[in-house]
């Protein structure tokens, strides 16, 4: 009788096909990847939703939209340039410098635009600033995760 129970228990163990996907060394966890993507989506969505609901003029909304796109692009470009240099992949000094300059300019334009925006209350300015920073940080993190995953799987 005990052997029958042991056989049933062993068969249940064998029929439970839990195949665990092994993570490579240096590859970010799926939870970290998901959290990074979620942060990017939340930051960009909140920023765009705030722009859509804003009472500012269309050209002002366009300015803030372009600053977001410029900031996202420049942050990803800078992350790639820094990572390439670190890994010994040739990066020209002009591209590296332009990447830094573009990110600094996007942050300065956002800061100056929010400082001079008379039609936006202080809490809205803080909202746009935080959504902008969250989006830039998340874009860098997503780019890093993509690069780390690609490198780990090679």
Tens digits of residue pLDDT in 21-67: 676 777 888 899 999 999 999 999 999 999 999 888 999 999 999 99
Could you give the CA distance from residue 117 to residue 134 in angstroms, rounded to a whole number? 21
DSSP code at position 26: T
Q: Which residues contact 95 (CB under 8 A, 6 or more apart)?
A: 81
Note the pTM of the prediction, 2 decimals.
0.79
Tens digits of residue pLDDT in 86-139: 989 999 999 999 999 999 999 999 999 999 988 889 999 999 999 999 999 999
8 Å CB contact between 142 and 37? yes
8 Å CB contact between 33 and 152? no
Residue 72: pLDDT band with limits 50, 70, 90 = very high
- pLDDT for residue 10: 59
DSSP code at position 56: S
Report helix, strand or coil for 1.
Answer: coil
- pLDDT for residue 104: 97
């Amino acid at each position: 009788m005990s052997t029958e129970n042991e056989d049933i228990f062993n068969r249940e163990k064998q029929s439970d096909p839990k195949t665990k996907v092994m993570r490579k060394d240096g590859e970010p966890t799926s939870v970290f990847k998901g959290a990074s993507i979620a942060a990017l989506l939340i930051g960009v969505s909140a920023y765009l939703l705030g722009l859509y609901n804003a009472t500012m003029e269309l050209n002002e909304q366009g300015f803030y939209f372009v600053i977001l796109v410029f900031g996202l692009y420049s942050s990803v470009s800078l992350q790639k340039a820094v990572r390439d240099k670190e890994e010994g992949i040739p990066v020209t000094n002009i591209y590296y410098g332009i990447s830094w300059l573009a990110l600094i300019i996007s942050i300065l334009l956002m800061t100056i635009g929010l400082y001079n925006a008379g039609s936006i209350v202080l809490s809205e300015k803080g909202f746009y600033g935080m959504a902008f920073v969250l989006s830039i940080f998340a874009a860098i993190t997503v780019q890093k995760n993509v690069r780390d995953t690609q490198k780990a799987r090679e």
